[in-house]
Structure 1
Amino acid sequence: MAREFSCLDEALRRFIRAQAMFFVATAPSDGGRVNLSPKGYRDTFAILDDHTVAYLDLFGSGVETISHLRDNGRITIMFCSFTRNSRILRLFGSGRVVRPDDPEFIDLRTHFGLEHPGIRAVIVIDVERIADACGYSVPYYELVGERSVLDAHHAEQSDEKFARRIGGDNGHSVDGLPALDPDHPLPSAVPRVMR
């Protein structure tokens, strides 16, 4: 059944690379809504070392993850196998937001694959707990392919439109927490979550 792991060893890395999608969960500190987001495009997730992962955060309809990370840093990533071998893997940790105007962004960007338009940030996670579960009740699904819809949509957008979104629908979470609001710059560090 459930096991805990000390690091992202090669077997876990193979499992992560084999998944076509992952899920991101965050929540604000004081009430508010829990956010759970599915993420696609295999080349948008990277394992940086045994205890650090990152993913490309693309512009979307909301900005809850960034708001919640600004608030408390807590984040969980879940990988779920829908194939013959059932398994769920969760990475619990502390996340931080690295924007394209941050000098660290250039180095982080080299860990990802194809060029994706509409990159809002890189989310870097210090993994504090790695645990799996059986996933015995997860149904079988067959992967048909990746959707190119988001990339195609972003490719048609102007830089000015992305800039307007930073102060618009990407300025705050649905609960009013600051996200990309230019009047509330990102903190330089997010406090680590205690184990």
Structure 2
Amino acid sequence: GTVTDRGWASDRLIRAAQSGDLESITAVVHGAHPHVRRFAAHLCASAEDAEDAAQEALIVLYRKIGTLRASAALASWMFRIVRNECLRRARRLVDSSDAPDAGPVDSAEDEVLRRLEAERVAAAIRALPDVQRRVLIMRDVLGYPGRTVAGALGLSTAAMKSQLHRARTALRTDLRGTPGVPPSA
């Protein structure tokens, strides 16, 4: 019979991967990478987030492809993982400054609100000056220790803390839509 070939994700390849064939799994993960990255780039707050979310999705794919039922579900499954990763990373920024949200939220409206919120966070992060954005992402999103962040960005620890404080303040102000205290240079 003819194999319906979707390029990287041919049914035959995915079926082989599902049955645990390591070479096929690797091929699927490798093939999925550009698609996953493109999707992550649209959804995530920053290039760093997108890269991490894409990696995370590929790791999940690698580990769990055997549990995937239908090969047709692969793309939507991957996208869901990426979206959740991006949202999780964006939400971590918001949650660190706000009360934890109450209970699980699953309705379509909640999903839309969550996505809007993630997009607002993403826009607010993108609006930060370069150094502040990097500090915030490395420290708050990726969770690197302060020393590591300062070293990676060539800042003193004090300068890193000052940039992080400014970034967090700017982000909160931006998200609340309240005029903040004018930044002291």
**Pair in the same fold by TM > 0.5:** no
Structure (1 or 2) with the greater helix fraction: 2
Question: Which structure has the larger Rg over C-alpha atoms?
Answer: 2
Q: TM-score, normalised by structure 2?
A: 0.24
Structure (1 or 2) with the greater strand fraction: 1
Q: Which structure ranks higher in relative contact order (CA pairs < 8 Å, sequence separation ≥ 6)?
A: 1
